A and B are shown apart, each in its own frame.
Chain A
Amino acid sequence: MKSKPTMLKILDIVTVLLLLAATTMVFFYAPLEAVMGQVQKVFYFHVAAGWVGMLSFLTAAFVGVMYLVKNDFKWDIVGLAAVEIGMVFAFINIVTGSIWARPIWNTWWTWDPRLTTATIMMLIYAAYLMLRAGIEDPNRRARFGAVYAIIGFLSVPLTFFSARLFRTIHPIVVGTNQPGAQGSFDMTPAMLQTFLFSLLVFTFIFIDLLWHRIRLGRLSSRVEQLKLKSLE
């Protein structure tokens, strides 16, 4: 097995540096928000994590289609990698959302459309992994995974719309009428820069992790192959 390619090594270092830079920006560059205080800073990584969650979903659906069309296993490895990463980041998104909500609205959870959709997205990811776990044949596993990734991806926007429609017609029962993650504060330019930079950094993290996970997937395939060869 080849050792880590130079590009990946560089990407690793760059990603870590970027993450450090982003954290510094969040704590030292972005101003303190008037109403919410320190807690508001969770927002930057919260939204970025959510963004990665959605990016993963899109990736999984796209490679799902590619797998069905091309019937090449390499697409399947990417799909599984995307889902695993997406699940982690969706979880981070939800937890940071919760951390943000608690001091501001005095509740651990708001049924705000984005948070609700993120939770459902995470459940779809979990279902995807459980689906794969129940299948022995690798070809079927890849096919079913691809199909579910596509179906799941298509349902998420509809879930978001229905949750949002739900919200506009009925106010939330618990908590105040704050529009939650809609961004109830105005962003100063510094905030905006920090926000966009965080998005960029997290995208780098996504690509870096995805690459690592794909390598892992390929390595595990190789091991399987060697195992089969030795049994013959």
Chain B
Amino acid sequence: MNGQGKTPDHISQAESIRSAAASKLEANVPSLSPGILKAVWAVVWKDLSAELRGREMLSAMLVFALLVIIIFNFALELDAKTRAAVTSGVLWVTFAFAGTLGLNRSMAMEKDRGCLDGLLLAPVDRSAIYFGKSISNLIFMLIVEAIVLPVYSVLYNTNLFKPGLLLVILLGSVGYIAVGTLLASMAVQTRTRDILLPILLFPVAVPVLIAAVKASSGFLEGIVFPEILPWLNLLIVYDIIFLAVSFMVFDYIVEE
């Protein structure tokens, strides 16, 4: 700090450039803040672009899911009748494990090269990050499910394309991903990383998995709707509660 009161040339020059730049900036951009929806969309687009480029994560999830289904065939050695009864269980176990892979990969991408800081530096609400990541995680899980269904149908000669089942898959995936994204954000910031996610997620996701399996088999076996309804309600309740809570606590996970 200059006690003389006369500022050096290059600083006063910098001053004038700065104020010129500042006024130009203010003229063009009233406020640099894109709004939550745009930010969410930006995050989703970023995740989809990055994945579509190399498709590493999707292929890993898919191959894994198919392997699990095939292993089940040998491990359970079922005849056609029993197989019908366990189909929904097999499907959901597969989805749960493949989902974990995707969640891990998705959050690891942010940890890599410090990108999470990049997201936090942007002048957007943190919930935009949560919703953006959740939506892209959901999309990936749905893609895998969309491919597994026909493959399973073909391999085991069953028709899985009942609209009720599709609804259950959607509701179940939403709940699973809502909590999964939050917990994956935590897991990726610990020393134990990948291993920790299933340990954190599965006990908490039990209601979703139970409800999804029961509702799925309900639709597959053609059980009357009123009996399936309680399971659907449970799924919806779970989805709402955990979307709300995860969104509310997400800030505490990412901010220091």
Contact = CB atoms under 8 A, between A and B. Distances in A.
Contacts of B189: 135, 140, 144
A151 B186 CA distance: 12
B74 interface: no
A203 interface: no
Contacts of B249: 68, 147, 150-151
Interface size bracket, A side: 20 to 34
A154 B253 contact: no
A166 B210 contact: yes
A155 B208 CA distance: 10
Given A152-B203, A161-B234, A166-B210, A144 B186 contact: yes
Secondary structure of the A contact surface, majority rule: helix
Contact of A127 (B203, B238, B241, B246): B203
Contacts of A144: 186, 189-190, 253
Interface string A52-71: 00000000000000001000
Interface string B159-185: 000000000000000000001001100
Given A127-B203, A144-B253, A169-B227, A163 B186 contact: no
A154 B242 contact: yes
Nearest to A121: B203
A40 B157 CA distance: 50
Contact of B238 (A139, A147, A158): A158
A62 B203 CA distance: 20
Given A161-B207, A163-B210, A135 B199 contact: no
A47 B111 CA distance: 45
A162 B211 contact: yes
Contacts of A162: 206-207, 210-211, 234
A154 B231 contact: no
Interface in B180-232: 182-183, 186-187, 189-193, 196, 199-200, 202-207, 210-211, 214, 227, 230-231
A147 B185 CA distance: 12
19 contacts: A120-B203, A120-B206, A124-B203, A126-B199, A131-B190, A134-B190, A135-B189, A135-B191, A144-B186, A144-B189, A150-B245, A151-B242, A151-B246, A152-B204, A155-B207, A158-B241, A162-B206, A162-B210, A166-B214
Interface of B: 179, 182-183, 186-187, 189-193, 196, 199-200, 202-207, 210-211, 214, 227, 230-231, 234, 237-238, 241-242, 245-246, 249, 252-253, 256
Given A148-B200, A166-B210, 8 more contacts: A68-B252, A131-B196, A143-B253, A146-B252, A150-B245, A151-B183, A154-B245, A159-B206
Interface of A: 68, 120, 123-124, 126-127, 130-131, 133-136, 139-140, 143-144, 146-148, 150-152, 154-155, 158-159, 161-163, 165-166, 169
